[in-house]
Amino acid sequence: MNSLQLKMARVALGLTVRQAAELADVSHDTITRLEAGADLKESTVAKVRTALEKAGVIFVEENGEGPGVRLKKFK
């Protein structure tokens, strides 16, 4: 997950920075720093990514068109 994917995922879910931070159980500043491209601990990035995936985001890796995100289909 890169910084742009984080922001796209957050916006796709309709979350503010504070809401995303609460969802991932991290500080507001952590989300802000991640979205700005700061290097943080791998475990922190994984924690944020896992929380967003549980909320319904699928992170799409580089596939020739660039990395991105999409939302899971819930039945």
CATH of domain 3-71: 1.10.260.40
Contact indicator for 5, 68 with CB cutoff of 8 Å: yes
- Predicted local confidence at residue 49, as pLDDT: 97
pTM: predicted TM-score of the whole model, two decimal places: 0.89
pLDDT in tens, 1-24: 999 999 999 999 999 999 999 999
Of the chain, the end-to-end C-alpha distance in Å amounts to: 26
Share of the chain above pLDDT 70, in %: 99
Mean pLDDT of 47-72: 90
d(CA 10, CA 4): 10
Domains of the chain, by residue range, sit at 3-71
